[in-house]
């Protein structure tokens, strides 16, 4: 069993969590504390909780005992250890009178169904960013617990004893609830550079990067008009974004080079330096895959591409640069290392797939070929995300199975490899061929490449992928290489 807690940096919680650490050390408990940058108002910081728990479930093998950062251990939590040893209970928390679940102390068994459950909790929390995390946890238990077969147990009140409830007995874990004192001290915004309140008017930040105030207020509106760009006729503003870099600067980086485009499929967890055989070829990482790519020791030019406004500013590169759509750029208003692309200039719709936008940018600046890596849904029909992404796909992931037929239209006439990294890099397949103008792309998956007289059925890709018959190869040979 591992005790876990998170805190927000540069807030009073950074000091308060040390009391928790001292109490864990005193009792000889195994623990992990993690610091996060503040997301602004107290409720937004609370919303970090399910994301943190999923990260811990992914990075650790132990069952977890989550406690709030302002909690303290007064006694050894023997009941939790018994639950962990027993292997039956999946989640345990205290339920107050009136049916209110408390999320200050929660036990999570580390197994597959709990990871799926926490993914559902994350989606619920993101859909209701202003809702308290313990309410979204309770709702997720009601809506998804039975479906997933979650075994819930109620913790005694001594395991979540609020500091001023003397009738709750001798505390095992005391919740000091410093939020009562700290809420007003956490007054940043969920978006950097935007206040949480203006003249006592609450500022709400929306998924498209705009922000609003709830009612007409002359002083508040004057302040917002002075500092931000107003949407005509509305009480809605955008940050005035830095112009960014010239897209034309990309031409010498992409011209006559291969372009690696990285997806978020499960094989992203297996991505290594061996996938990149051309050290000067640019890499475009789709959304959160940038963090995995930047963890590798590679010399290639690296770009993150984001157009999903719901991801906010979570795809910011640390050493690469950002390709961001004009509609999502407000999340990166002060970020200088960005290129802002226009859908119309790429000849695509605003609703176009991110990977297709990446392809069209690379084509616009003269790329010669593509390696499409970690697009598992297109190749192996595995429609999950990699664990390193940190959350499950939103919406129906079966849509990924329809992506190949859209992608193939945009890579006609180019050499294309579809690469699925494996845990053993020497077993991964890599293929090269020139794409006929009227036929789909050759795919290479985890297994061997199998010639066939049938053309591939793009809706039923399997581990043994088919090649086009010789008459469709237009004098281009196909070969299998091993990294």
Residue 370: CB atoms within 10 A of its CB come to 26
Confidence check: pLDDT of 354 > 60: yes
Q: Among residues 200, 216, 238, which one ends one of the domains?
A: 238
pLDDT for res 12: 75
Q: How confident is the model at residue 14 (pLDDT cuts 50, 70, 90)?
A: confident
Q: How far apart are CA 7 and CA 283, in angstroms?
A: 34
Confidence check: pLDDT of 482 > 50: no
Residue 157 sits in the same domain as residue 29? yes
Q: How confident is the model at residue 446 (pLDDT cuts 50, 70, 90)?
A: very low
pLDDT (average), residues 434-445: 33
Confidence check: pLDDT of 480 > 60: no
pLDDT for res 177: 65
pLDDT for res 335: 82
pLDDT for res 140: 93
**Could you report the per-residue pLDDT of 183-239, keeping only the tens digit for each?**
444 444 556 667 778 888 888 877 667 889 999 999 999 999 988 889 999 999 988
Q: How confident is the model at residue 168 (pLDDT cuts 50, 70, 90)?
A: low
Residue 195 sits in the same domain as residue 275? no
Report how far apart the first and last C-alpha atoms of the chain are (Å, whole number).
Answer: 40
Residue 414 sits in the same domain as residue 339? yes
The overall average pLDDT reported for the chain is: 81
Q: Decide which of 456 and 396 is more confident.
A: 396
Lowest-confidence pick of 43-47, 80-84, 106-110, 349-353:
43-47
Q: How confident is the model at residue 178 (pLDDT cuts 50, 70, 90)?
A: low
Residue 307 sits in the same domain as residue 387? yes
Cα 324 from chain centre = 16
Residue 346 sits in the same domain as residue 440? yes
The answer to whether 286 touches 377, Cβ cutoff 8 Å, is no
Residue 407 sits in the same domain as residue 291? yes
Cα 55 from chain centre = 11
Q: Decide which of 244 and 448 is more confident.
A: 244
Token pair belonging to 9:
């940096």
How many domains is the chain partitioned into structurally?
3
Q: Among residues 176, 203, 238, which one ends one of the domains?
A: 238
Residue 218 sits in the same domain as residue 257? no
Q: Among residues 140, 165, 184, which one ends one of the domains?
A: 184
Confidence check: pLDDT of 355 > 80: yes
Confidence check: pLDDT of 353 > 70: yes
Q: Which residues pair with 259 in a beta bridge?
A: 370
Q: Decide which of 61 and 452 is more confident.
A: 61
pLDDT for res 262: 98
Residue 371 sits in the same domain as residue 260? yes
Which residues, 6+ apart, have CB-to-CB distance to 280 below 8 Å?
257, 299, 300, 301
Residue 141 sits in the same domain as residue 202? no
pLDDT (average), residues 277-306: 96
State percent of the chain over pLDDT 90.
53
Residue 257 sits in the same domain as residue 141? no
Confidence check: pLDDT of 287 > 70: yes
pLDDT for res 41: 65
The answer to whether 226 touches 239, Cβ cutoff 8 Å, is no
Q: Which range scores top for mean pLDDT: 156-170, 248-262, 437-451? A: 248-262
What's the burial of 116, exposed, middle or buried (CB within 10 Å: 0-12/13-18/19+)?
A: middle
Q: Which range scores top for mean pLDDT: 42-51, 154-163, 181-190, 379-388? A: 379-388
pLDDT for res 394: 78
Cα 62 from chain centre = 22
pLDDT (average), residues 125-135: 81
pLDDT (average), residues 276-286: 97
Q: How confident is the model at residue 428 (pLDDT cuts 50, 70, 90)?
A: low
pLDDT for res 403: 95
Q: Decide which of 79 and 437 is more confident.
A: 79
Q: How confident is the model at residue 427 (pLDDT cuts 50, 70, 90)?
A: low
Buried b (16+ CB within 10 A) or exposed e, 420-452: bbeeeeeebbbbbbbbbeebbbbbbbbeebeee
Q: Decide which of 38 and 470 is more confident.
A: 38
**Could you report the per-residue pLDDT of 71-88, keeping only the tens digit for each?**
999 999 999 999 999 889
State percent of the chain over pLDDT 70.
81
> Does residue 252 come out as left (phi exceeding 0), alpha (psi in the -120 to 50 range) or beta?
alpha
pLDDT (average), residues 111-135: 88
Residue 122 sits in the same domain as residue 218? no
Q: Decide which of 46 and 109 is more confident.
A: 109
**Which of 327, 40, 10 is closest to 202 using CA atoms?**
40
Residue 119 sits in the same domain as residue 163? yes
Enclosing domain of residue 213: 189-238
Which residues, 6+ apart, have CB-to-CB distance to 18 below 8 Å?
none
pLDDT for res 13: 76
pLDDT for res 395: 79
The answer to whether 177 touches 163, Cβ cutoff 8 Å, is yes
**Which of 31, 29, 27 is closest to 17 using CA atoms?**
31
CA angle 42, 182, 12 (to 5 degrees): 100
């Amino acid at each position: 069993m591992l005790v876990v807690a998170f805190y927000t940096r540069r807030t009073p919680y950074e000091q308060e969590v040390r009391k928790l650490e001292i109490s864990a050390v005193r009792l000889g408990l195994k623990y992990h504390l993690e610091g996060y940058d503040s997301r602004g108002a107290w409720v937004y910081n609370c919303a970090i909780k399910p994301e943190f728990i999923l990260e811990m479930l992914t990075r650790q093998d132990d069952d977890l005992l989550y406690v709030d950062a302002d909690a303290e251990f007064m006694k050894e939590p023997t009941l939790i250890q018994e639950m962990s040893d027993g292997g039956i209970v999946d989640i345990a928390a205290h339920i107050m009178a009136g049916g209110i679940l408390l999320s200050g102390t929660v036990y999570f068994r580390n197994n597959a169904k709990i990871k799926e459950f926490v993914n559902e909790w994350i989606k619920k929390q993101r859909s209701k960013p202003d809702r308290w995390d313990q309410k979204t946890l309770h709702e997720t238990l009601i809506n998804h617990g039975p479906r997933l077969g979650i075994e819930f147990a109620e913790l005694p009140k001594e395991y979540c004893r609020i500091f001023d409830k003397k009738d709750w007995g001798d505390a095992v874990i005391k919740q000091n609830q410093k939020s009562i004192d700290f809420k007003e001290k956490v007054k940043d915004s969920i978006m950097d550079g935007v206040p949480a309140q203006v003249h006592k008017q609450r500022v709400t930040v929306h998924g498209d990067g705009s922000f609003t105030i709830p009612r007409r207020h002359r002083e508040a509106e004057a302040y917002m008009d002075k500092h931000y760009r107003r949407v005509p006729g509305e009480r809605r503003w955008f940050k005035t974004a830095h112009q960014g870099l010239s897209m034309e600067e990309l031409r010498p980086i992409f011209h006559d080079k291969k372009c690696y485009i990285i997806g978020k499929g499960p094989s992203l967890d297996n991505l290594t330096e061996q996938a990149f055989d051309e050290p000067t070829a640019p890499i475009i990482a789709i959304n959160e895959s940038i963090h995995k790519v930047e963890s590798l020791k590679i010399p290639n030019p690296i770009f993150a591409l984001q157009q999903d406004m719901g991801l906010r500013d979570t795809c910011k590169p640390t050493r690469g640069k950002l390709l961001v759509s004009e509609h999502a750029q407000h999340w990166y208003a002060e970020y200088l290392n960005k290129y802002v692309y226009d859908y119309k200039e790429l000849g695509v719709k605003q609703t176009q797939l991110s990977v297709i936008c990446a392809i069209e940018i690379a084509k616009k600046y003269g790329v010669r070929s593509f390696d499409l890596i970690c697009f598992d849904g297109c190749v192996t029909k595995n429609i999950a995300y990699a664990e390193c992404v940190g959350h499950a796909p939103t919406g129906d992931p079966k849509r990924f199975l329809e992506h190949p037929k859209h992608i193939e239209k945009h890579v006609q006439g180019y050499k294309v490899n579809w690469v699925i990294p494996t845990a053993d890099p020497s077993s991964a397949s890599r293929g090269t061929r020139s794409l006929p103008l009227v036929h789909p792309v050759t795919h290479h998956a985890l297994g061997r490449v199998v010639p066939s007289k049938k053309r591939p059925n793009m809706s039923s890709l399997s581990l043994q992928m088919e090649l086009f018959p010789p008459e469709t190869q237009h004098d281009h040979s196909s070969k299998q290489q091993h990294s």
